[in-house]
Amino acid sequence: MRADVVVVGGGIQGVTMALAAARKGLRPVLVERADIASGATGNSYGIIHGGLRYLQTLDLPRWRRSRQAQSWFLNNYPDFVRPLPCVMPLYRGCFRSRTAFQAAAMLETVLFSTIGGEPPLPRLRLMSADEVLRDYPIWSNELTGAALWHDAEITDLDGLMTTMLTQAGVSGEGLLTHNRAIALCTEAGHVTGVKVRDHKSGEERFIESSTVINCAGSWCNQWNESGAGPSAAALAFNLILDLPFPGDAALAISERPGRGRSYFLRSLHGNTFAGTFYRGAPGEAEPSPSEADVRQFLHTLDRALPGLGLSEAKVLRIMPGLLPDTDGTGETLSSRDVFAYNNPDGFHTIVGGKLTTAPLLSLDVADRLWPDAQSMTRAA
């Protein structure tokens, strides 16, 4: 079997990489060890962030890239992505204050006027304390109101990924699910292809190609031992709870009102979707939250929002994934994009820091690998 490019990994990075390669006129083959989007992509919270958080640290390049990625999803796949209102309660004497969000809103206005674009979603506004208390059972002591902004959410991940694969021309023998890449094949320092094994039959086959792109995420170093990607030592998981959630917006809460890590809760098919819990998981090959992890997350949520009874809620589904970290301890997540180029010649490893910006990373890699070919349209 021969391919112009073999993409290993069927998450958002691998699928958008196959799409970017196809738009350059190449014929990709995609290899996935399980089902498409069965790992961190399929178990993510599904929010396409607009980069508002980066204005807190004045990281303007990351803000702009997040807004560009958000526009890319909304413009290209409106049937699968929609606006998501998000509410964050604000408290007196905290960094997350009305003043801070007013400054962020003003800065975004200036930035959009400078770059000559329009916000893809409604602009941030501030709510009164009475407004937010009317909808949510949050801590009211020292509450000054709430920030309301819009991100985007993926409403049909299976439909989105299937559509991208169809656009990439990846189907039939070009889509090898339940096939594990087991060996990178080289000759005289150049890639010649990949050997894969079918999980069900045990049959092995060789896919001939001079270009292999490793998009296997937390498993990127498990099958080829290149060491090109960051270590995957952080466990993350979300929960779907058998509990109705008030309001239509995603609600950001924290154990200490207005301080510390934020967790997001929103309604999903009449239940509550809660995320995201993190802990260090160095050396773990599969994402496996323990009962203690789940209990800890439920109690954390209950302390943050005691009026909803979250600690007693029935867990309908646990959605786990492994994520890259910065130093192998799992204590600090890596948000940077990694692109290891020609190691060996023709082999490239891509590990995206965020679901939001994965398509833009794929575009950048395609432009670097095939600069003279036609590329898919970028959203401004």
pLDDT in tens, 86-100: 999 999 888 778 888
Sheet of 179-187, strand order: 179-187, 190-198, 204-208
pLDDT tens profile 229-239: 666 678 999 99
Q: Provide the pLDDT for residue 157.
A: 96
Q: Provide the pLDDT for residue 380.
A: 33
pLDDT at residue 377 is higher than 50: no
pLDDT at residue 300 is higher than 80: yes
pLDDT tens profile 146-176: 999 999 999 999 999 999 999 999 999 999 9
Q: How far apart are CA 380 and CA 361, in angstroms?
A: 15
pLDDT at residue 196 is higher than 90: yes
- Catalogue the E-assigned strands of 132-171: 143-154
Whether 5-42+158-230+334-369 and 86-152+232-323 share one fold: the answer is no
Q: How far apart are CA 286 and CA 321, in angstroms?
A: 8
What is the chain's length? 380
Percent of the chain as helix, strand, coil, to the nearest 5? 30, 30, 40
Closest CA to 145 of 128, 133, 161: 128
Domain ranges of the chain: 5-42+158-230+334-369, 86-152+232-323
Closest CA to 21 of 380, 376, 341: 376
pLDDT at residue 129 is higher than 90: yes
In the CATH scheme, what is the code of domain 86-152+232-323? 3.30.9.10
Look over the chain and give the mean of its residue pLDDT values, rounded to a whole number: 90
CATH superfamily of 5-42+158-230+334-369: FAD/NAD(P)-binding domain (3.50.50.60)
Closest CA to 207 of 177, 176, 178: 176
Higher pLDDT, 368 or 230: 368
pTM of the model: 0.92
User: Is residue 339 a contact partner of residue 361, using CB atoms and an 8 Å limit?
Assistant: yes
φ, ψ (nearest 5 deg) of residue 329:
-90, -20
